Amino acid sequence: MSQELQIKAHLLDLESKVDKNGHLYYRLSLQGMPGYYYAFNYNLPELTWKSLTTPHNWINRQVLITYQELPNRDNLGTFYKVKQIELV
């Protein structure tokens, strides 16, 4: 398993989605970052997940994200899997 990293940035967008297995997740867009960060409901503490359901509390705010960098399925890029997110 890869190590956990942290980033502090402004959250620009928070989009709710469902993966092919029916798991809910959020796709996060951060200021100055070219890729997306993915927050899955089964990966986050319940209280954190519930707080994301009100995106207006998060958009355009500075957040601290703990995440893992994982290779994409095709090994041609990086997948950013969120482990924790909090307002700064």
Number of domains in the chain: 1
Instruction: Compute the 3-state secondary structure of the chain and give helix, strand, coil in percent, each to the nearest 5.
Output: 10, 55, 35
pTM score of the predicted model? 0.88
* pLDDT for the residue 73: 79
The gap between the terminal CA atoms of the chain, to the nearest Å, is: 27
Site of tokens 């890869």: 2
Domain that holds residue 14: 4-87
35-63 pLDDT tens trace: 899 999 988 999 888 888 888 889 999 99
* pLDDT for the residue 65: 96
Residue 2 has pLDDT above 80, yes or no: no
* pLDDT for the residue 74: 79
> What CATH number does the domain containing 42 carry?
2.40.50.140
Question: Exposure string (b/e) for 72-86, b if CB count within 10 Å is 16 or more?
Answer: eeeeeeeebbbbebe
